[in-house]
Amino acid sequence: MGADEYLMYTNEEREFRAYVRKFCEKEIVPHEDKIQKENQYPRDILLKIGQVGLMSVHHPKEIGVGKYAGRGLVYETIVAEEVSAVCAGLDMARMASATLYGKPISRFGTDKQKEKYLKPVIRGEKIGALGITEPNVGSDVAGMETHAEPKNEGYVLNGHKKYITNGSQADFLCVFAVTDSSVHAKQGMSAFIVEKTMPGFSVVKDLDLMGMNGARVSELKFDDIFIPKENILGNIGEGFTICMDELDSERVAIAAEALGYARPALERAVERAATRVQFDQPIRYFEGVNFKIADMATDFEAARLLTLHSARLYDKGKTISKEAAMAKIFATKMAVSVCDHAIQILGGSGYEKENKVERYYRDAKLMEIGGGTSEILRYLVQREIFKENKKNK
């Protein structure tokens, strides 16, 4: 840890980072190679992650596990960075369960829903997934085609979801659907809690991805699934609000994951530059290398600051749509760039799977797409800037 981190994080936050790092070294590192080769994480690792409280930090104390429960988004960013630095696909699964699925239930669910559908997920006993994206619907959430019709004190759900992290592994899913097509989806969308055992739920397939080995990203079908009224999340018509509420914290956590991909790549590049000798001197003395290192380190620190700033604002109850988007845009771009430069600095060995840098690169690329593409987030940022400008006049 650099001296600057002693100013950025509190003593308790640094203690927590050490706790997470120790857990990762003991419980995840021994399985890292197997997860990469078999493209599947052992389910009991998520159970262990839940049992030690690493799914609880972003949830209220009464829901969570351990002394770090209820600490907030800053603590979630620490978990995301440290787990991602070891196994990106595993943290993608953890976050999809605890945050993407968990936060909507935590913030909008009834006490009974939290007891049945959230607490087991936070403990790692069950797995959750968030169902938003569809084959024809990505950034334009309002164009959602999945729909639900009222019937017999409940709703019948029909639709098709794609790119759903944990989709084939999930016990429970928070699924968004249009319930009133006569109005704009912002007013006509609702959220439902779906159990995988409900008749009509099926997994079309798990998708073969460029990176994120270990994670399961799936295509799902919902055919005449009856959803009882007690499984409606929030109120009918509140789906868009629930969806947007979750995205800000998700984007900050993704920015933190990007730090996790970039950090080991940067460390390996620095080590290589200091020890690799060419033309009778370490390659760190060549500007083509050391200027890259300078830019990589500068961008990494800037990404950390943007991420931490957004998380602290969120923990103080502030709206962070602009800040979260900025953090995700910059941090994900930084991670791709840092990993790219690290491969170049390592040369041929950087292209070998044994050195892991090529894996960080493949993992990092996804996050310029998932959770809101960089293009749509830039649109969001400029929109918020001009809103602020108008208010200040």
Q: CA angle 350-356-357, nearest 5°?
A: 50
219: part of which helix (H) or strand (E)?
A: strand 217-228
Per residue in 331-376, pLDDT (tens digit) is 999 999 999 999 999 999 999 988 899 999 999 999 999 888 999 9
Domains of the chain in start order, with CATH, are 5-127 (1.10.540.10), 129-237 (2.40.110.10), 241-392 (1.20.140.10)
Q: Give the bridge partners for 164, in sequence order.
A: 218
If you write DSSP's letter for every residue of 106-168 in order, what string do you get? HHH--HHHIIIIIHHHHTTSS-EEEE--BTTBSS-GGG---EEEEETTEEEEEEEEEEEETTT
**Single-letter amino acid, residue 177:** A
Cβ atoms of 214 and 87 within 8 Å: the answer is yes
Long-range contacts, 348-353 (Cβ 8 Å, 24+)? 349/272
221: helix, coil or strand? strand
Rounded CA-CA distance 229/233 in Å is 9
If you write DSSP's letter for every residue of 42-67 in order, what string do you get? -HHHHHHHHHTTTTTTTS-TTTS-ST
Helix (H), strand (E) counts: the chain:
15, 10
Rounded CA-CA distance 381/85 in Å is 28
From its phi and psi, is residue 66 left (phi > 0), alpha (psi between -120 and 50) or beta?
Answer: left
Q: Give the bridge partners for 150, in sequence order.
A: 155
Number of Cβ within 10 Å of residue 112's Cβ equals: 9
**Single-letter amino acid, residue 347:** G
Helices 73-86 and 239-275, interaxial angle, to 10°? 50
Give yes or no: 250 in active site: yes
Q: How far is CA 325 from the centre of its chain?
A: 13
Rounded CA-CA distance 12/370 in Å is 31
| Residue with the two structure tokens 């103080």 | 316
Q: From first to last of the 393 residues of the chain, give the pLDDT tens digit.
A: 454 566 789 999 999 999 999 999 999 999 999 999 999 888 899 999 999 999 999 999 988 888 999 999 999 999 999 999 999 999 999 999 999 999 999 999 999 999 999 999 999 999 999 999 988 887 777 778 899 999 988 999 999 999 999 999 999 999 999 999 888 877 899 999 999 999 999 999 999 999 999 999 999 999 999 999 999 999 999 998 998 888 899 999 999 999 999 999 999 999 999 999 899 999 999 999 999 999 999 999 999 999 999 999 999 999 999 999 999 999 999 999 999 999 999 999 999 988 899 999 999 999 999 888 999 999 999 999 999 888 876
Taking the complete model, does pTM exceed 0.85, yes or no? yes
What Å distances lie between residue 242 and 64, 103, 381, CA to CA?
A: 21, 9, 20
| Residue with the two structure tokens 């070891």 | 86
Instruction: Name the active-site residue from 250, 257, 358, 368.
Output: 250
